[in-house]
Every structure is written in C-alpha cells, then in structure tokens.
A = this chain, B = another copy of it.
Amino acid sequence: MLLKDKLKGHRLILASASPRRRQILTDAGLPFVMAEPYEVDEIYPADLPAAEVAEFLATLKSDAYPVPLADRDIILTADTTVVVGGVNGEVDEVLGKPRDRAESIEMLEKLSGRAHKVITGVTIRTPDRRETFAAESTVTFRHLTREEIEYYVDTFSPMDKAGAYAIQEWIGYIGIERIEGSFHNVMGLPIQMIYSYLNRLSDYYGAR
C-alpha cells in the first residue's frame, strides 16, 4: 500500500508557517492539515553546536504545539538553518533570517564563492512517540557580484529565509554551482527522509 493510503487512518498535521513546506508535502502527494499558528520563542543555548540548532528548534516547535494530540494524530515540525564554516579557526556560524536589506546583502556576501551547509531538523510526534532527525546538504555558490546580490535582495525580499536566499528562486538558478545531499532539504523539508519515516511509523501503528 502506498503511504498516502496508509495515512488515511491518521491525521498528519503540519505545524509550520512556511508556504514552501506546505508545497513540498502537497507535491509528495501526502494528505495533511495545517496547524493553527502558535507562538514559539526560537531560542537555543548559546553553546549549542551549530549543527544541532535545527534539531533543537524542531523539537521546541513540536513541544510548544498547544493542542493535545488525538489518538491517530501525527504532528510534523521543522527548522532550517544555514551554517557557514568559521574562517581562521573561528567556530561555525548559524545564519538565521536577515532583519533587513543590509543584513540580507551581508549574508549573501558571506555565502558568495564558497560552500555552506543547510540543515533541516524535523520532529515527528504522535501521542506515544517522538522522533527527531536532521538532513544536511552542502550548497556551493559561485562568486556573486554585488550587482547580482542587490538585484536579488531588491526583487525577491528574502527576509523570511534563513541565509537570505531560496534555492528555487532566481539566485538558485544563476548562482548555485552544485549541491550535495537532498534538494528539498535546501527548500525546507527533507521529504524523502520524512516519507520513509512515515512509512515505518504507519506500519508500526498498522501492526498494533
């Protein structure tokens, strides 16, 4: 049986404001409902290693969901971070969402001409189980000119995106040399990993 049919006995809840995550789940053919928006303070310990921030925040968002889960509910939360390697022995830096135009430009200058990591943490929770995992992709930008960066920021306003870019927008077409890992992870959801995990989860419930 295909996953979309196995999920008929469940209610998959996507708790994310991101239209990109909603689109990915839709394109993967999975039936789901959107959670009502709720507030989460996206704060993580200052000494948390950069690679662990996304999983930490995905779990935080899951636990903050204010509605008790019903018997066959499955709630999916995620967090995507962009991590650039520290230069000259500095530690890795997590790039979140830029505050304004200037910070968007600054972030893209940091990403230009080198590789960075995109990490999406995912938490999938039912009344009696909670699993968190992460996908890591490496994205390499060619050198971007200042004109290209300003054109992108002014045309696409990437203030709602970690690292100040979306791979599926203009800058992804003209500036990204290569990726290693999941493409959809860079968009915001490692959908193949999620699909495989939900398959195992629904088999587990089906066998009970």
Contacts and interface: CB of A to CB of B under 8 A. Distances in A.
Q: Which secondary structure dominates chain A's binding surface? A: helix
Contacts of A151: 2
A24 interface: yes
A181 interface: yes
Contacts of A142: 192, 196
Of A3, A184, A192, A196, most B-chain CB atoms within 10 Å? A192
Interface string A184-204: 100000011001100000000
A176 interface: yes
Interface residues of A, number: 29
B182 A180 contact: no
Interface stretch (A48-56, A60-68, A70-78, A167-175): A167-175
A197 to B, nearest CB: 12
A21 to B, nearest CB: 12
A167 B170 CA distance: 19
A91 interface: no
Contacts of A175: 192
Nearest to A186: B183
A208 to B, nearest CB: 22
Interface in A68-123: none
Interface of A: 1-3, 24, 27-29, 142, 147-148, 151, 167, 170, 173-184, 191-192, 195-196
Given A2-B147, A2-B151, A167-B183, 19 more contacts: A2-B148, A3-B174, A27-B173, A28-B170, A29-B173, A173-B191, A173-B192, A174-B192, A174-B195, A175-B192, A176-B182, A176-B183, A176-B192, A177-B192, A178-B180, A179-B181, A179-B182, A180-B180, A183-B183
